């Protein structure tokens, strides 16, 4: 019923720059990429209205600065096992929505829910 409000289209410019996180080996790529420029890892539940609103506001907030980051996006409903691996690997409890900031191969900050919008990047 609410899918029409949260659905992304090919012409949705706020989605430009997302790198979809779809397989576990990408976590090693993320650690390497974070040594070149910081990585933002956004964990999103596509069935949650709060997650959709936070994602939309987050992307709008950073739209002019996105070139300064690698922006990885994880669909939690499709790839829950990757979310669980992230929680174990980085010792961060699973939340949604959740933003994880990685620099030089280390998690330097993370937040969830509305706290994502308050993070200093």
Per-position DSSP letters for 40-72, written without gaps between them: EEEEE-TT-HHHHHHHHHHHHHHTTTGGGSEEE
Looking at the 3D structure of the chain, how many domains does it have?
A: 1
> Does a structural domain hold residue 8?
no
> Does a structural domain hold residue 53?
yes
**Stated pTM of the model:** 0.85
Grade residue 61 by pLDDT with cuts at 50, 70 and 90.
Answer: confident
Residue 8 confidence (pLDDT): 44
Domain that holds residue 24: 15-118
pLDDT at position 14 over 50: no
> Does a structural domain hold residue 10?
no
CATH number for position 96? 3.40.30.10
Residue 15 confidence (pLDDT): 55
| Cα–chain center distance at 87 | 13
Q: What stretch of H or E contains 70?
A: strand 70-75
Per-residue pLDDT tens over the stretch 80-116: 999 999 999 999 998 999 999 999 999 999 999 999 9
């Amino acid at each position: 019923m609410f899918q029409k409000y949260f659905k992304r289209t090919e012409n949705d410019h706020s989605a430009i720059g997302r790198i979809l996180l779809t397989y576990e080996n990408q976590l090693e790529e993320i650690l390497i990429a974070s040594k070149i420029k910081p990585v933002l890892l956004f964990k999103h539940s596509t069935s949650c209205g709060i997650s959709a609103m936070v994602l939309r506001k987050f992307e709008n907030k950073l739209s002019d600065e996105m070139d300064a980051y690698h922006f990885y996006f994880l669909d939690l409903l499709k790839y829950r096992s990757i979310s669980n691996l992230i929680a174990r690997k980085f010792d961060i409890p699973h939340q949604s929505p959740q933003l994880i900031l990685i620099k030089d191969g280390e998690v330097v900050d993370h937040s969830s829910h509305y706290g994502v919008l308050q993070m200093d990047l």
